[in-house]
Amino acid sequence: MNPARDRRLFTSESVTEGHPDKMADQISDAVLDAILAKDPLARVACETALTTGTAILLGEISTECYVDLPKVVRSTIRSIGYTRAKYGFDWETCGVMVCIDEQSPDIALGVDHGGAGDQGMMFGYACDETPELMPAPIQFAHQLARQLAAARRSGALRWARPDGKSQVTVEYDESGMPRRLDTVLVSAQHSEEVSAEEVRQGVIAEVITKAVPEGLLDDATRILVNPTGRFVVGGPQADAGLTGRKIIVDTYGGAGRHGGGAFSGKDPTKVDRAGAYGARFVAKNLVAAGLARRLEVQLAYAIGVPHPVWVGVETFGTERVPREHITALVDEYFDLSPAGIIKELELRRPIYRQVAAYGHFGRSDLDLPWERTPYRDQLANDAGVEPASPSLEEVFP
């Protein structure tokens, strides 16, 4: 008999900026930012592939400006921390191949008149488990991954290398709030010279105890650090990297549904990106207003059509007002056309490289327009409820 089956547990993972897939995401978004800084109306769909010693840019870009793309690639790799060949990748000596074409004129026919750049469905999600209105497992996993990178950069973990992963299993109480952490897993790339025990003790002291809210770890929490005992070979030398292969890490850690479209390297006319940001914006404002404790927004678009063909709201039985009222408020307050989302969230700016690692949502360390809650009080007033804005003390008493 497995006692875990009698408890409600959920697991999410994150990865550091030096993970090969996240490297690819950051390169693609760095290219996007460099182009948007010069041409806010550019059309960009830039993919990156990485393997040992090689970075390849491919995709479609339509712009009037010039950007030195190989320079952007190398600069991004350097900023991530791959500055020496012994780390498995080197920004100065790696090969960079650029295979870029223009956007299809057939797609442009729809987008030029304010329509969606593609068909597809996107989901936005928010819940009251954390102050950021994010699911606790992915939020804590991101905090661990970010702290691992910070400890490497500061020199607190002198042996640390850029690649790394985290994973958190949260146990929930009967009310659906995080009670404790059942399992914490951190895998950290390290130098050849350091011992497994030194890595373990360093990660516990400099990463886990600093990244996890006090009181969630107990004597029964299982802590795993580099379970194989060795993680020297990492980055693109160990695994090929590809843009868009960490879509669950980018969003809600599996707690909310996903439409399947990746974000990085895509300008905001691509509804994979703008639609997902818009849906999160709506969901977060509704939960912040206290209309539901857990809420998911689904959007569906057709290529060339200026408004979503479907807007759905799911509250999982946590609503404080009828769902029909919530849906009516969404229609009243939010313009979810691609053009409307771009305008509301000011998406034609070079703001994307910063979210290409450690999540696009719940980023209390960044001022992201889709994370703001400007309609919180108005929505609460219209719905006749008290706004909900949980503090850390309220979430983790």
Q: Kindly name the residue from 146, 266, 320, 363 that is annotated as catalytic.
A: 266
Q: Kindly name the residue from 165, 353, 360, 363 that is annotated as catalytic.
A: 165
Residue 272 falls in the annotated catalytic set: yes
Q: Kindly name the residue from 150, 156, 180, 239 that is annotated as catalytic.
A: 239
Q: Kindly name the residue from 231, 263, 281, 396 that is annotated as catalytic.
A: 231
Residue 246 falls in the annotated catalytic set: yes
Q: Are 34 and 42 in contact (CB under 8 A)?
A: no
Angle, CA 18 vertex, CA 13 and CA 22 arms, to 5°: 60
Residue 267 falls in the annotated catalytic set: no
Residue 19 falls in the annotated catalytic set: yes
Residue 60 falls in the annotated catalytic set: yes
Q: Kindly name the residue from 161, 179, 245, 320 that is annotated as catalytic.
A: 245
Provide Rg for the chain, Cα atoms: 21
Residue 86 falls in the annotated catalytic set: no
Residue 193 falls in the annotated catalytic set: no
Which candidate, 318, 253, 248, places its Cα nearest to that of 283? 318
Residue 71 falls in the annotated catalytic set: no
Residue 293 falls in the annotated catalytic set: no
Q: Kindly name the residue from 21, 29, 182, 319 that is annotated as catalytic.
A: 21
Q: Kindly name the residue from 17, 19, 116, 142 that is annotated as catalytic.
A: 19
Q: Kindly name the residue from 129, 163, 182, 272 that is annotated as catalytic.
A: 272
Q: Are 348 and 41 in contact (CB under 8 A)?
A: yes
Which candidate, 143, 167, 148, 159, places its Cα nearest to that of 206? 148
Q: What are phi and psi of 200, to 5 degrees?
A: -60, -50
Q: Kindly name the residue from 246, 320, 353, 363 that is annotated as catalytic.
A: 246
Q: Kindly name the residue from 270, 273, 353, 360 that is annotated as catalytic.
A: 270
Q: Kindly name the residue from 47, 163, 171, 267 that is annotated as catalytic.
A: 47
Q: Kindly name the residue from 10, 13, 17, 22 that is annotated as catalytic.
A: 22
Residue 21 falls in the annotated catalytic set: yes
Query: Catalytic residue positions?
Result: 19, 21-22, 47, 60, 165, 231, 239-240, 245-246, 266, 270, 272
